């Protein structure tokens, strides 16, 4: 059965939901699924904007055939060649053999590498180029590294629709809804939007900033991304989130995240004590995560959200506890910066995690700060540790208050 939605009078959503994929990019859990968005414009020419992952190929083709209703497909605009959006290019070409493909030079190189498309149908565009399809004209805007180097976005100058590729995407199946204003976005979608941005595009904050600056010069009325809902109202809400995330500015100033790595509960107990004291002393946004049982994509997303991070960690083979090490390595890889850290470390005989955590916070992340003092737990935390844990709590609160 075709499943399409009208976006504007002559623009249709022809993408679909994938609820069977467990791990996006084979890394990130997506228990709420994901949508692969594609849009079809019916103008004097017909224009398909991006394709879909193979997983929903049958639904996608059925959607396109239904909206075309027998018309030929004249153009396929490819904004991003990652296979979750480009895998069905060959299927489109097989069914509509006269279609021309519009994309960047680098995208055509990547298509070849993935065995997609052919030179004979390629129309190469670059920043500032325009293409008219009748009533509608697309202006093409480079978006390198948002999220791959070949990426571009397409702006419909006639109605202000920005086809934003991976930018402004969100994890989560659409489930029949299409527009962000058809959801309680802040309550049900924002966490997954943040987890999508921070883990997929988070490393490329400078490039996202460059795209946002270009977008600021366009009269955007609607944002149509490649994942998640279309934005037609209150665009500034989501653009503001992107401003914060891409500049590594804490989204929730004064929020504290406690990440603990604990083998037998001693470090966990110290972390719990710190969380309780923070709450008791008036910090209203305190979250705790067990680094061993929380997916790293959630830890990263929360790290982008909060301003203060308490790391509580055991020593393991004279190193940082491996799950904590993975989290910190991912944090560095994604270029997170501008955060304030407190450290609680544990070691029964050689508490080396302390020095390693301290040097990570001060040397590995840009513009980050380590609060003094740190707390050193020896094996199990007990009442004798209260004083040094209180000192950590006071340091965090004092820093939040500025
Ligand atoms: Fe949704 Fe970078 O692909």
Secondary structure in 3-state letters for 167-194: CCCCCCCCCCCCEHHHCCHHHHCHHHHH
The helix/strand/coil state of 285 is coil
- For ligand 1, say whether the CB of 82 is within 6 Å of any of its atoms: yes
pLDDT, position 117: 79
pLDDT at 359: 96
CA of 91 to the centre of ligand 1 (A): 19
Q: How far are the Cα atoms of 85, 256, 296, 356 from residue 324, in angstroms, in the given order?
A: 33, 17, 9, 11
For the Cβ of 195 lying below 6 angstroms from any atom of ligand 1, the answer is no
Those residues whose C-beta lies under 8 Å from the C-beta of residue 347, and which sit 6 or more positions away, are: 314, 315, 353, 354, 376, 378
**Does 58 lie in the same domain as 188?**
yes
Give the nearest ligand 1 atom to 166 CA: 1
What distance in Å separates the CA atoms of residue 371 and residue 125, rounded to the nearest whole number?
Answer: 50
CA dihedral 39, 161, 229, 251 (to 10 degrees): 140
Using a 10 angstrom Cβ sphere, with 0-12 exposed, 13-18 middle and 19 or more buried, the burial of residue 350 is exposed
Tally of domains within the chain: 2
For residues 142 and 218, state if they share a domain: yes
Index of the ligand 1 atom closest to the CA of residue 151: 2
pLDDT < 70 positions in the chain:
none
**Where does 281-341 have alpha helices with state H?**
296-305, 322-333
Give me the sheet containing 46-49, strands edge to edge.
5-8, 11-13, 39-42, 46-49, 75-77, 100-103, 122-124
Q: How far is CA 307 from CA 84, 253, 254, 339, 346, in A?
A: 33, 5, 6, 6, 24
Cα separation values, 352 from 195, 369, 373, Å: 31, 20, 16
Unique residue bearing structure tokens 């208050």 = 401
The verdict on 306 and 378 lying in the same domain is: yes
Ligand 1 touching residue 84 (CB < 6 A): yes
Q: Is 85 in the pocket of ligand 1 (CB under 6 A)?
A: yes
Total residue count of the chain as it appears in this document: 402
| Same domain? 364 vs 333 | yes
How far, in Å, is the centroid of ligand 1 from the Cα of 336? 20
389 & 283 share domain: yes
Based on the fold, state whether residues 324 and 187 are members of the same structural domain: no
Q: Select from 262, 241, 261, 260 the least CA-distant residue to 252.
A: 241
Residue with CA at minimum distance from ligand 1 atom 3: 82
Cβ atoms 351, 379 nearer than 8 A: no
List the domain range (segments joined by +) for residue 342. Answer: 255-401
Q: What is the pLDDT of residue 119?
A: 81
166 CB near ligand 1 (under 6 Å): yes
Q: Do the Cβ atoms of 64 and 73 come closer than 8 Å?
A: yes
Same domain as 143, residue 18? yes
Q: Verify that 302 and 176 share a domain, yes or no.
A: no
Please name which of 149, 157, 163 lies closest in space to residue 131, comparing C-alpha atoms.
157
| Residue 99: CATH number of its domain | 3.60.15.10
Q: How far apart are CA 396 and CA 157, in angstroms?
A: 49
One domain for residues 278 and 387: yes
Out of 246, 281, 299, a domain closes at 246
By three-state DSSP, how is residue 15 classified?
Answer: coil
Helix (H) and strand (E) counts for the chain? Answer: 13, 23
Same domain, 201 and 265: no
Q: Return the CATH number at 372.
A: 3.40.50.360
C-beta separation of 70 from 44 below 8 A? no
Dist CA 394 CA 222 (whole Å): 46
Q: Under 8 Å CB-to-CB from 176, ≥6 apart: which residues?
A: none
Verify whether ligand 1 is closer than 6 Å to residue 28 (CB atom).
no
217 and 122 in a common domain = yes
pLDDT for the residue numbered 236: 97
Give the Cα separation of 88 and 94 in Å (integer): 10
The torsion angles phi and psi of 124, rounded to 5 degrees, stand at: -90, 130
Q: Is the CB of 226 under 6 A from ligand 1?
A: yes
Same domain, 11 and 103: yes
Count of CA atoms in the C-beta half-sphere (13 A) of 121: 22
Q: What is the pLDDT of residues 289-321, one digit of tens each?
A: 999 999 999 999 999 999 999 999 999 999 999
Q: Identify the helix (H) or strand (E) that includes residue 57.
A: helix 57-68
Provide the pLDDT for residue 1.
Answer: 97
pLDDT tens-digit profile of 197-216? 999 999 999 999 999 999 99
Instruction: Tell which of 207, 225, 246 closes a domain.
Output: 246
Residue 396 is encoded by which pair of tokens? 């965090």
- Looking at 180-295, list the stretches that DSSP marks H as alpha helix, in order from N- to C-terminal side: 185-188, 190-196, 205-216, 235-246, 266-280
Q: Which two tokens stand for residue 92?
A: 């489109």
Instruction: Tell me, in angstroms, the distance from the centre of ligand 1 to residue 147's CA.
Output: 7
Boundary residue ending a domain (222, 246, 270)? 246
Counting atoms of ligand 1 from 1, which one is nearest the CA of 227?
1
Cis peptide before 122 (omega within 30 of 0): no
């Amino acid at each position: 059965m075709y499943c399409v939605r009208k976006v504007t009078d002559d623009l249709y959503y022809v993408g679909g939901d994938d609820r069977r994929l467990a791990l996006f990019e084979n890394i990130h859990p997506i228990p709420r699924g994901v949508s692969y968005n594609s849009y079809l414009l019916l103008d004097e020419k017909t224009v398909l904007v991006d394709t879909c992952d193979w997983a929903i190929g049958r639904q996608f083709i059925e959607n396109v055939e239904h909206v075309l209703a027998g018309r030929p497909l004249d153009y396929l605009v490819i904004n991003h060649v990652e296979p979750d959006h480009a895998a069905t290019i060959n299927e489109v070409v097989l069914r509509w053999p006269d279609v021309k493909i519009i994309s960047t030079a680098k995208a055509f190189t990547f298509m070849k590498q993935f065995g997609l498309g052919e030179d004979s149908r390629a129309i190469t565009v670059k920043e500032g180029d325009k293409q008219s399809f009748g009533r509608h004209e697309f202006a093409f805007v480079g978006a390198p590294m948002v999220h791959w180097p070949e990426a571009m976005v397409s702006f419909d100058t006639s109605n202000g629709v920005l086809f934003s590729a991976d930018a402004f995407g969100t994890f989560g199946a659409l489930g029949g809804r299409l527009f962000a204003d058809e959801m309680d976005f802040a309550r049900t979608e924002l966490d997954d939007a943040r987890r999508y941005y921070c883990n997929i595009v988070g490393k490329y904050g400078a490039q996202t900033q460059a795209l946002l600056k270009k977008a600021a010069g366009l009269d955007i009325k609607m944002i149509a991304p490649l994942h998640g809902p279309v934005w037609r109202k209150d665009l500034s809400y989501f653009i503001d989130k992107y401003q914060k995330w891409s500049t590594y500015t804490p989204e929730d100033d004064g929020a504290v995240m406690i990440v603990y790595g604990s083998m037998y509960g001693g470090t966990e107990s110290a972390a719990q004590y710190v969380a309780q004291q923070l709450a008791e002393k008036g910090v209203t946004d305190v979250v705790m995560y067990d680094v061993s049982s929380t997916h790293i994509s959630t830890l990263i997303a929360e790290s982008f959200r909060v301003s203060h991070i308490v790391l509580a960690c055991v020593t393991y083979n004279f190193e940082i506890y491996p799950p904590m090490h993975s989290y910190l390595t991912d944090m560095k890889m994604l270029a997170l910066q501008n955060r304030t850290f407190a450290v609680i470390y544990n070691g029964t005989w050689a508490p080396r995690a302390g020095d390693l955590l301290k040097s990570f916070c001060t040397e590995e992340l840009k513009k980050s700060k380590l609060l003094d003092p740190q707390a050193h737990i020896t094996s199990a935390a007990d009442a004798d540790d209260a004083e040094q844990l209180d000192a950590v709590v006071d340091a965090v609160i004092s820093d939040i208050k500025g």
